[in-house]
A and B are shown apart, each in its own frame.
Chain A
Amino acid sequence: MRTILAITRQQILEGIEGHPFAEAKWNPAWGNPPPGLLIPCNMFGISKRKYRCGMWAEVFDEIGGIGYLAYEDGELVGQMIFLPKKHARRIGIPTSRVNENLESTIVIGCLVVLREHWNKGIASSMIGELIRFCKDRGFHRIETYVDVRPPDEAGISTSYSPFRKFGFIVDETSQGWDSRPDTGICYCNV
């Protein structure tokens, strides 16, 4: 059974026990495994970290959410993290070059699903939740970086495929990641 849960303020501050990205060692299936690398997602467990930044708690307090966690039969298998475009620009997260509506645009900065759970519609479930969130909270546009190559070539990068189903369009004028020419920005008006 699938469950999509909104990330809570408590999780931002205290963390999530057994989080596969925040706690587990790098999964070789994600590609290019650096030996022993931990994936310490800073959006969780801020109070326990050596370097602390209150950004995620502040974003949560401002808009009422920062993302979703996807569970399959009780196992955490995916996550989405988002923030308003005005904040994404402030910290340099990939966004489109469009400078209008920074306040009413949401940017997805992270969308990951464990490889063994790909092609089950989990990413789509989280995108659907985000669209509902945006409609409820007065956000009119969603942007995200995507790897514009076919999913098999894109590897662990976020694929365009789940976004296309929701009507997202690739912005041909914007590169996604500074260091990854194969990435672009796609967007959707909601």
Chain B
Amino acid sequence: MSMRPGEVKVDFLINPFCLSDRDFSRLSGLCERYALMLNAYNLWDIEDGDIDGLPAHVSTLVRELRSGERAGSVYSTVFINGERFPINAWHDSFRMIERRIMDLLGMERQ
């Protein structure tokens, strides 16, 4: 069953190391195209004491990265309704993200 744009939650966990400008521009363009709300969280700005207030899928990843339990990367991560999409392969990562958005909205792929 298709969702309305307001029901598709896009969370963007930004790694500011090197590519956040590129990824923010691309993702905000996608969200604009499909009329989705984009919630952006920059890892640099997240204090340890604020982690509990983040969406659960975001806070879990932040905790794993900061504890050293999970191997790291310089890449940002997109969550669509809680499903994780690491942006680790241009342009494929964004193609996957857009496909997922279109599937949720019930749109035909070209």
Contact = CB atoms under 8 A, between A and B. Distances in A.
B1 interface: no
Nearest to A46: B21
A88 B72 contact: yes
Contacts of A42: 16-21
Given A40-B22, A42-B17, A179-B88, A90 B43 contact: yes
Interface string B77-98: 0000000001010110000000
Given A34-B90, A41-B18, A42-B20, A53 B44 contact: yes
Contacts of B19: 40-42
B42 interface: yes
Contacts of B24: 50-51
A93 B68 CA distance: 10
A14 to B, nearest CB: 15
Contacts of A55: 16, 44
B42 A38 contact: no
Interface stretch (A96-104, A128-136, A146-154): A96-104
Nearest to B40: A51
Nearest to A89: B66
B25 A50 contact: yes
A85 to B, nearest CB: 9
A51 B20 contact: yes
Contacts of B70: 92, 178
B74 interface: yes
A65 interface: no
Interface string A84-115: 00001111111111110000000001100000
Interface centre among B19, B20, B25, B73 (most CB of A within 10 A): B73
B72 A95 contact: yes
Contact of A91 (B21, B44, B69, B71): B44
A77 interface: no
Contacts of B90: 34, 37
A176 B70 CA distance: 10
Nearest to A51: B24
Contacts of A90: 43-44, 46, 66
A8 interface: no
Given A34-B91, A51-B25, A92 B20 contact: no
Nearest to B16: A53
In the A-B complex, list the 4 residue pairs whose CB atoms are closest, starting with the nearest.
A92-B65, A51-B24, A94-B72, A53-B16
25 contacts: A38-B22, A40-B21, A42-B17, A43-B18, A50-B21, A51-B20, A51-B21, A51-B25, A53-B44, A81-B17, A89-B65, A90-B44, A90-B66, A91-B16, A92-B15, A93-B15, A93-B72, A109-B17, A110-B17, A110-B74, A175-B71, A177-B73, A178-B72, A178-B88, A179-B75
